[in-house]
Each structure stands twice: as C-alpha cells, then as structure tokens.
Structure 1
C-alpha cells in the first residue's frame, strides 16, 4: 500500500517526459533526493543525508527557493530570455548576467528606467505587454517569462498572454503568480499594479505546464506576499519552514511557478 502511494506521488510530482523519463533527475549517492539537471522539487529518498535537504530547502532566505529554481531552469539551457512585465527589479536580477541575452519589456516607463539603471537586462522596450507578439517574431527567444504579471490581466486576456508567450518561446515558458485571487490596488503611481484575476494549478496543468508551489503554505502570507504573523522576521521563518511541503503540493502554496517545456509539448 505504501509503495503504491509512493509511486503515485512520484508520477504526479515528476511526470515522465517524452524525450527522457524523469529528464530533470539524476541519482546522487548520499543525498536524500536525486541530483537534478532541471527544475522543480527533488523527491526525498530514505537513508539520504538530511543535512543536504535542510541546507537546500529549509535553511534558506526569503524567496531563495524561487530564485534558485528560476536559475536552474534558465542558466545553461536558454541563451535568450524575454522578460515580459519585467518591472523595476525582476526576480532574474540575481543571475541575469549569466544569460547571454535578456530583454526586458514593461508598460511603465519609470520601472523600465529603474531596471535599466540596475543593469538587469541588456535590452529594453517600453510598450504594451500584449504587443510583444507583434514586436518580436515567432520562436525568437529560448525562454519567455512573466513573473508576477498574469494576475494583472483579466482572465481572457491572461490566456491570450499565455498563447503569445508560447508562440515566442523555443524552449520554455515560465509563469509566476499568486495561487488564486489576491486583491491588490494601484501603488507606486502605477495603474498596472491592480490585480484583475486569480490563477489555479489546473489553469496551467491543462496547458502542459509543470507547476511547483512557492513561498510556503498559503495561509501564512497576505498582501504583497508579506507574512501575516508578526514580527515579520518570525512570520517569514515560519513560512520558509513550510516550503518543502508547498513546493510538492502547489495547491496549498501561496504562489505558483509554472514551467512549460515547449520542445516536448
């Protein structure tokens, strides 16, 4: 019974890909999980090194798991990345220098200028995000990402955004968004900051995306992804402690990271 449950979980967490079953995994003796060549949470293995697990998934900083997962999904795999709705400080900022060519697109001029001043991307375009499909040709980037963006569109336009991104990407499309609807009003003099839709795991899985939970257990965070428990430092640490659970059961996570491999779709 237990063995059957384990197999069912493994198949759900890491669906086989057509090019190579469990393409993002490789075994590594002594570790509590297989060594990965791609993205997503590793599976625990009996008798493994618990300290490696703690170091990678528990003893981490705020949003460190997100930044690491994005890096593993892009660096060494994608030479060109289009960051739609890049904002002033894209989550790609910590490793964009490791990517040969990155392009930032945003509809808010101030955000573009702040990002340019920080040197996050090599090229910028201030434009309506939905016009990116006209500005760039089909399959013109290895990866197209929209991080904390799709929730700013109503649902029909959000699906059109996904279609546009999928038409532009040769290898990967990456979406990062709250799990469900999270109210948010205009701020920083940017009308585009209003949240207009909520997205669930099935919205992405039905389109062939692999979904990973992010930012810990959903009830522990609120507006702007800030911890609900005070002081913030304690609330943040409690949320981080739930990351291993949230990554593997995204329906219970505060945020979702959805990745679609276009080459095997």
Structure 2
C-alpha cells in the first residue's frame, strides 16, 4: 500500500466521522430508521455499495440483492450480506405493491434509457412502503461496457430538478464535478480527492455542481 493511498484513506475516514454530509452518512441517516422488514437493492452488482454501508447499518431484516449480470450476483452472494439474490431485469420488477420497506438503487438508473429510467422510478415507488433512495451522476456521464458486463454502459443522465419535480430531496456528493472524470477516478489523484472532500459541505446543498447526487423520497409522509 502506497503512502498516498494510506493518507487518502485516513483522511477520508476522518472526514466522514467529522462531517455528516457524505453520501454514506446521508444514506445511513435514512435507512437506519429501518431496523427490520425487507429492503431491496436493485442493481446490487457485486454488493460493494452495501458492503460499504454494512458496518454502520444496524439492519436485522431481510435484504434482497437484484441484478441482471450473473457473475456479479455470484460475487455478491459470497459477501454473505444478502439473504437472497435474484437474477432479473430492472425494467421489470416482479414484486407486489408495498413489498419492501425501502428500495435502493445505487449507480443503476443511468444504465437505462431515459423513458425506462422514469418508469423504473415509478415502479420502485410502488413496491416500497417507506423510502426510495437513488444514487446517480449529475448529468450524463459517458461510460462504455467494461469488466465483461455489457450492462455497464451509461445510456442516460439526470439533473437535480428532475428528481425534485418527482418529490425527491436531492443532495450533492463526491465534491465538485469538474474534479472527476469517467470511471470515478480523480483527475489529479490525491489532490483532487482532498479538494472534493473540502467542497463536500458546499455541494451537499448545491447538487447541480456535484459529481454525483443522492435522491431520497419518503413515501410514508405521502401516505400519512
């Protein structure tokens, strides 16, 4: 492990403890309200996003992973985080209304055509009782298939006002957009990472300038 990597990880951990404005902290603020029940992770991939949250997420319910790339599902299953994993297409969520307490979709919706993405949002809201949490780049971010997965291609992009018009609260994450390039790699490595953390507080409230956005809709408030 290089010195730069050690410094980067140490500063990141320190930042996340001191400032509750990261994507992880915001997601945890909402999903930690759900201690039991059922949660669906659509487009779970290899399970890396949930693994990132798992140490701080005190969840004792049923967690289902959902993806259409079998090699990723096999890897997700080895993490032993999910109670079950399903091979299926996000364009056709085979679940009844209000089947889950929360539906998560991290780094997924940009892989769908725009109309499919909007239909997907509505489908998520139908099968969830409490929350829908979507994590996606701000605007269109070009990406071709990689890692032997043809579904990794980006086909659409969204801006904050589109989610706000659908009733979502939107938060900017990962720092200023211009600091990053395709593939989520900082242009200037450690320097860009440091600057992105320093600008996180600002872009949290101004997501149009952010690299990525976290979109959260509380369905329980709408039902009450």
Q: Do both proteins adopt the same fold according to a TM-score greater than 0.5, normalized to the shorter chain?
A: yes
Residue from 54, 60, 66 that aligns with 2:23: 66
Deviation at 1:54, TM superposition (A): 9.1
1:137 maps onto 2:96 in alignment: yes
What residue ranges of structure 2 are gaps of 5+ in the alignment?
1-13
Q: Distance in 1 between matches of 2:128 and 2:136?
A: 19
Match of 2:212, SS? strand
Cα deviation per residue 1:131-150 (whole Å; 9 max; x = unaligned)? Answer: 22xx2111010100110000
Q: Distance in 1 between matches of 2:214 and 2:140?
A: 15
Change in CA separation of 1:195 and 1:253 when aligned onto 2, cut-off 3 Å: same
Tell me what 2:19 maps to: 57
Change in CA separation of 1:55 and 1:171 when aligned onto 2, cut-off 3 Å: closer
Question: 5 Å matches for 1:243-254?
Answer: 243-254=200-211
Deviation at 1:234, TM superposition (A): 2.0
Is the contact made by 1:57 and 1:65 (CA closer than 8 Å) also made in structure 2? Answer: yes
How many residues are treated as equivalent by the alignment?
Answer: 205
Residue from 123, 131, 142 that aligns with 1:164: 123
Question: 5 Å matches for 1:122-201?
Answer: 122-132=83-93, 135-201=94-160
Is the contact made by 2:16 and 2:22 (CA closer than 8 Å) also made in structure 1? Answer: no
Cα deviation per residue 1:201-248 (whole Å; 9 max; x = unaligned)? Answer: 01100010000001001111111221112xx12221111111001101
TM-score (norm 2): 0.86
CA-atom RMSD, angstroms? 2.0
Is the contact made by 1:78 and 1:143 (CA closer than 8 Å) also made in structure 2? Answer: no
Residue from 64, 76, 93 that aligns with 2:51: 93
Q: Distance in 2 between matches of 1:142 and 1:129?
A: 18
Is the contact made by 1:201 and 1:256 (CA closer than 8 Å) also made in structure 2? Answer: yes
Tell me what 2:34 maps to: 77
Q: Distance in 1 between matches of 2:68 and 2:78?
A: 17
Cα deviation per residue 1:92-113 (whole Å; 9 max; x = unaligned)? Answer: 2134463221100000000000
- Structure 1 segments of 4 or more deviating over 4 A? 52-55
Deviation at 1:90, TM superposition (A): 3.5
Deviation at 1:76, TM superposition (A): 3.0
Residue from 190, 193, 198 that aligns with 1:233: 190
Match of 1:162, SS? helix
Cα deviation per residue 1:63-88 (whole Å; 9 max; x = unaligned)? Answer: x9222221221023353210000000
Tell me what 1:103 maps to: 64
Q: Distance in 2 between matches of 1:176 and 1:55?
A: 21
What residue ranges of structure 1 are gaps of 5+ in the alignment?
1-51, 59-63
Change in CA separation of 1:235 and 1:186 when aligned onto 2, cut-off 3 Å: same
